[in-house]
Structure 1
Amino acid sequence: MSTAPQGGMTVPPMPERTPKSLRAAIAQHAPQLLVDFDRHWRRDIADAYDLAPVPAFMARWWGEYALARNPELEARVHRLEDEAAQESDYARAKAMIEDAGRIRRAAAKAEPGQ
């Protein structure tokens, strides 16, 4: 199942909001994130006696996958961030970073199945 085409490409849907489903979606559609996802899981969650960090972990990786599943959108965000790093005008650099942040936050609001 995929969401509607965006920019000539089909964007895969968001998975169920569980670590296992998210990991499977990352492995299938954004494997470039998998090593960092697994490393973060092992470091902060796998051996934890307290599940308090799980919501923060899920929020971070939900947003990362939501962006990575759409290569065009991900490229736009990275382009804004790269251009901001090279921009000598503070106001313009700030505006670029704010735009990138808005795109990231909007992507992270995707619900399962969207």
Structure 2
Amino acid sequence: MSTEPEHGGELIPRPERTPDALRVALARIAPHRLAEMEQQKNEAFSLAAEHDTLGPLHGWLNVWAREVEIERRYDLSTRRRSALEALHRTSDKADPAFRAAMDELRAVEDEAARAVSE
């Protein structure tokens, strides 16, 4: 698959917010993350069963809808990668570059969360 965006800055269209649709989308755009997704899904199911609540499943779905949104959008994935690279250049939490990178990561996640909640 080409790494160039196909849909105006999007690698793929936004998938439906279902476990199967998110898994298929992730397999297309970031297959190296499928094991991570599956592990977190299993943990969410275990917690849901243990505590007799759907909260962990909703949480898992929210996290992975946001992660797929970031991975599928060139702008968000580029911004996240740049912020992570900046964090690797400094470990000093007092460094303004550290704070700026953390703020950018939060902004990327917030933008993705807004996009998938529309």
Q: Give the TM-score of the pair, scaled to structure 1.
A: 0.75
- Structure with greater proportional helix content: 2
Question: Unaligned stretches of 5+ in structure 2?
Answer: none
SS in 2 for 1:53: helix
CA distance in 1, matches of 2:47, 2:24: 20
Displacement of 1:48 in angstroms is 4.1
Q: Which among 77, 80, 89 is matched to residue 74 of structure 1?
A: 77
Give the ranges of 4+ consecutive aligned residues of structure 1 lying more than 4 Å apart after TM superposition.
none
53-62 vs 41-50, which moves further? 41-50
**1:99 maps to amino acid:** E
SS in 1 for 2:116: coil
Q: Deviations over 1:19-52 (max 9, x none)?
A: 1221121122321221100111122216842322
Q: Deviations over 1:64-89 (max 9, x none)?
A: 11111134531331221221332356
How many correspondences in the alignment? 109
Question: Unaligned stretches of 5+ in structure 1?
Answer: none
1:32-111 equivalence runs, <5 A? 32-45=32-45, 48-49=48-49, 50=52, 51-71=54-74, 73-87=76-90, 90-111=95-116
Displacement of 1:12 in angstroms is 1.2
Higher RCO (C-alpha 8 Å, min separation 6)? 1
